[in-house]
C-alpha cells in the first residue's frame, strides 16, 4: 500500500484520538522492526537481529497474501511516529474450515498504553480479516512467567477472545 488512499482501517480506527491505524508499507520496516524487537525483549529478553526483523517486515508488507501488517501512527500523516504494531498471518486448517488469522505480534509503545491503541489495532485487523474471508482469529499468549500475563490475557478477553488452550512450538 502506498498510503495515498485511506483504507477502512485508517478511516475507522484511531481517527480523532491522536493516532490513526493504517496498513504498513515497506518504508515502515525500520520502525516496525524496532517495535517488534522491543516487544521480544519485553517478552523473553532477546530476539533476532535487526536486519532479519526488517526483512521479515518488508516481506509481510509486500505480500498481503501471507498476512496483515498494521501500524498505529501518532503525529500526522507526514512524518508520524509509530506507536503500535499488529502483525498477523493467514492460516488454513482442517479443524477451522476456511481461512483464519493468527496475531503474531502486538505491541504498543509503553508511553501510549491504556489509550485504546491495542484495541484499535485489533479491531482494524478484524476488519481486514473479514474482507479476506476469515471466520476466526487466534492469538498465543506469552509464557505464564511473563510479568504482565494477567494484563495481556485481560486485554484479549476484553476484546472478544476466549481461551483455546496452550500452544507449543518446535524450532527448525
Please check whether residue 163 lies inside any domain of the structure: no
pLDDT digits (tens, 9 = 90+) for 117-131: 999 999 999 999 999
Pairing verdict, β 67-74 and 19-23: antiparallel
Name, in order, each residue with C-beta under 8 angstroms of 160's C-beta and a sequence gap of 6 or more. none
Cα–Cα distance for residue pair 138/13, rounded to 1 Å? 21
Please report the pLDDT score of residue 6 as a whole number.
42
Question: How many domains does the chain contain in total?
Answer: 1
Domain housing 144:
8-158
Please check whether residue 170 lies inside any domain of the structure: no
What average pLDDT does range 120-149 have in this prediction?
Answer: 90
Mean of per-residue pLDDT scores for the chain: 86
Please check whether residue 2 lies inside any domain of the structure: no
Please check whether residue 146 lies inside any domain of the structure: yes
Please check whether residue 108 lies inside any domain of the structure: yes
Strand partners, 85: 71, 107
What average pLDDT does range 36-41 have in this prediction?
Answer: 93
Residue 11 pLDDT > 50, yes or no? no
pTM of the model: 0.85
CATH number, domain at 56?
Answer: 3.40.630.30
Please check whether residue 164 lies inside any domain of the structure: no
Please check whether residue 165 lies inside any domain of the structure: no
Please check whether residue 25 lies inside any domain of the structure: yes
Cα–Cα distance for residue pair 33/60, rounded to 1 Å? 12
What average pLDDT does range 58-82 have in this prediction?
Answer: 89
**Residue 134 half-sphere exposure toward CB, CA atoms < 13 A:** 25
Which stretch, 71-75, 78-82, 151-155, 159-163, has highest mean pLDDT?
A: 71-75
Amino acid at each position: 500500500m502506498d498510503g495515498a488512499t485511506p483504507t477502512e482501517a485508517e478511516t475507522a480506527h484511531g481517527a480523532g484520538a491522536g493516532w490513526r491505524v493504517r496498513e504498513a508499507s515497506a518504508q515502515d520496516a525500520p520502525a516496525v522492526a524496532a517495535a517488534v524487537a522491543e516487544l521480544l525483549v519485553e517478552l523473553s529478553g532477546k530476539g533476532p537481529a535487526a536486519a532479519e526483523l526488517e526483512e521479515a517486515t518488508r516481506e509481510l508488507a509486500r505480500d498481503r497474501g501471507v498476512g496483515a501488517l498494521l501500524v498505529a501512527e501518532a503525529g500526522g500523516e507526514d512524518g508520524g511516529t509509530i506507536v503500535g504494531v499488529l502483525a498477523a498471518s493467514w492460516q488454513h486448517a482442517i479443524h477451522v474450515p476456511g481461512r483464519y488469522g493468527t496475531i503474531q505480534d502486538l505491541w504498543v509503545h509503553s508511553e501510549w498504553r491504556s489509550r485504546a491503541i491495542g484495541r484499535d489495532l485489533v479491531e482494524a485487523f478484524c476488519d481486514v480479516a473479514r474482507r479476506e474471508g476469515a471466520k476466526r482469529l487466534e492469538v498465543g499468549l506469552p509464557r505464564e512467567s511473563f510479568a504482565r500475563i494477567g494484563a495481556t490475557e485481560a486485554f484479549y478477553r476484553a476484546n472478544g477472545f476466549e481461551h483455546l488452550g496452550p500452544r507449543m512450538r518446535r524450532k527448525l
